[in-house]
Structure 1
């Protein structure tokens, strides 16, 4: 018996299965329901050993930073370590599939986001998981604007200047992204569609190689998370042209929104949330939800997220589930309008 809660579920389920053939329909239903109810009641002992938190991207990016910042505090609240495990690959698909197939016992969690739960379902064929059916949403952690940056060698400082340059030289301006179908890729596609310009996509296998070539001048443009790009903006290596959200960011004072620079309908952002495999007992989901909401009230956590350009969220599992559905529908419409397809 690896885990007490899971073991109890198996015992009760076995008894229910053994008796089910001889029971009337009403009692058969009650017996079948006993297993999940027993598992929920056993959540009082949860967690009794470390919890894995799967991050579907490489270390060092915004997703990884949020997971480690919030995970550390959640571990203190629950009294067990939260072990962050990076499972990068296929735009977040590898990590998401890992969790979707994990035991629903609360010991494998997922840092899901706009890529895994809103972009991939609309863009990737034969996705090995169902973003809605295979997960139990727990809490929306934070939402974060991205920032559009340019190489100083382009000699532009605003979005209108970029648009003018792109129209003068259609298709000659390259932009880097974290990979095909990533949030940085989609942000650029939506920008090009709204601005009616042609930009050439240069996909990379993650943030680190994309940022390396951006800083080296191999590509002149990129949409990126604030946490990854902020040090290079501060030292003058990159020029911020605009942020993708609905308002300016405290971490980037004086950098206007893209929408305010002639593209009033433009807005997109990254978001992060914690999910568990579908079928995780409600009592465990609520215990995690309570712990995460408490962690998000910690001034140090809020300060850390704000420094990364992220705004703490929180809320109920039901609110997070609705957010996922709404974002999936919204970005699906944007993808169809842009004609974006996986390369």
Structure 2
């Protein structure tokens, strides 16, 4: 009789509580969702979050409030999200820098880069563009490579700092093209761009968004893009990979929730983000600011995150950022 009681009672309790949990997830969200952008206002992460979640808010008729928490290349905001309740009411918007931070701040982060978060989906892709100062006597990637090989160690490239997207792109280009150039790091993309425009440095690889107006004003000369395919913004500009086989390096802006968030909520958020990114007006708003809409399932994004982690680790070791 006791064994029967032990079997029946838990079964009754499970049957009672399961529908409640299901209903709770179905009603999600029943209060405002905080979208924590881990960089200051105005940057690509912030712009992406505001464009995409504005559409999510419109579709769901629920509030998604954007909050900016910058600092330490996004790791301060990420620490807040990692410690937040895994209930779907805190969403982090972070870029590929999230992966780079695992190595730049190795042993100092209060969270596990891959283990403490669930990636919902990338939201947008950032493509880089290789640009040179107009005074440099090259008008194509083959000409640049030929000049660099003719003058080893004489050409220089500016970056936004050690381990940045700009640095990794440039370092990979130098390595894969078999050239030797001098790295000149600056404290951020702004100073790096100013250095190139003034002629202090000779070339860089920065995001199309950051270089777009300078290219249009002919302050810099574009030679190629970092994506596998050509950019819709510059269809006549070749991909670097057309001349340096295998070269491809782009960045993403993605959405994350704390690890342990219920699967039903993860799925719901992912599908709502997919719906928003599929909207033509939302897509145009992103492309207008040189961001390409990007979507993956959580499983696909998890694979990408692991792949990026391994790639960044290998590249950072190769260029001497980490041992």
Q: TM-score range by the shorter chain?
A: 0.7 to 0.9
Map of 1:107-146 to 2, 5 A cutoff?
A: 107-117=89-99, 119-126=100-107, 127-146=109-128
Matched residue, 2:308? 327
Question: How many residue pairs align between the two structures?
Answer: 317
Matched residue, 1:270? 251
Asked whether the 8 Å contact 1:189–1:340 carries over to 2, the reply is no
Matched residue, 1:185? 167
Secondary structure at the aligned position of 1:274 is classed as strand
Map of 1:48-197 to 2, 5 A cutoff?
A: 48-117=30-99, 119-126=100-107, 127-197=109-179
Asked whether the 8 Å contact 1:53–1:83 carries over to 2, the reply is yes
Matched residue, 1:8? none
Separation of aligned partners in 1, 2:93 and 2:163: 18
Secondary structure at the aligned position of 1:296 is classed as helix
Separation of aligned partners in 1, 2:319 and 2:155: 20
Query: For residues 130-168 of structure 1, what are the alpha-carbon distances to aligned partners after superposition, in whole Å with 9 as ceiling and x for unaligned?
Result: 122100121222333211112212232222222233334
Asked whether the 8 Å contact 2:162–2:321 carries over to 1, the reply is no
Matched residue, 1:10? none
Cα distance, 1:216–1:59 mapped onto 2, change above 3 Å: farther
Matched residue, 2:192? 210
Asked whether the 8 Å contact 1:144–1:310 carries over to 2, the reply is yes
Secondary structure at the aligned position of 1:154 is classed as coil
Matched residue, 2:279? 298
Cα distance, 1:308–1:252 mapped onto 2, change above 3 Å: farther
Separation of aligned partners in 2, 1:88 and 1:219: 29
Matched residue, 1:19? none
Q: 1:208: how far off?
A: 3.0
Structure 1: state its 5+ residue gaps. Answer: 1-23
Q: 1:35: how far off?
A: 9.3
TM-score norm. by structure 2 comes to: 0.85
When structure 1 is superposed on structure 2, of 71-80 and 237-246 the one drifting more is 71-80
Q: Where does structure 1 differ by over 6 angstroms across 4 or more consecutive aligned residues?
A: 24-28, 34-37
Asked whether the 8 Å contact 1:91–1:179 carries over to 2, the reply is no
Matched residue, 1:248? 230
Cα distance, 1:278–1:156 mapped onto 2, change above 3 Å: same
Asked whether the 8 Å contact 1:58–1:206 carries over to 2, the reply is no
1:224 and 2:206 are equivalent in the alignment: yes
Query: For residues 164-195 of structure 1, what are the alpha-carbon distances to aligned partners after superposition, in whole Å with 9 as ceiling and x for unaligned?
Result: 33334433433232332222211111111112
Separation of aligned partners in 2, 1:331 and 1:154: 30
Q: 1:257: how far off?
A: 0.8
Query: For residues 104-150 of structure 1, what are the alpha-carbon distances to aligned partners after superposition, in whole Å with 9 as ceiling and x for unaligned?
Result: 22222112332213x33345421332122100121222333211112
Secondary structure at the aligned position of 1:142 is classed as strand
Q: 1:38: how far off?
A: 5.8
Secondary structure at the aligned position of 2:161 is classed as coil
TM-score norm. by structure 1 comes to: 0.80
Structure 2: state its 5+ residue gaps. Answer: 1-5
Separation of aligned partners in 2, 1:80 and 1:274: 18
Secondary structure at the aligned position of 1:66 is classed as helix
Asked whether the 8 Å contact 2:163–2:316 carries over to 1, the reply is no
Cα distance, 1:57–1:65 mapped onto 2, change above 3 Å: same
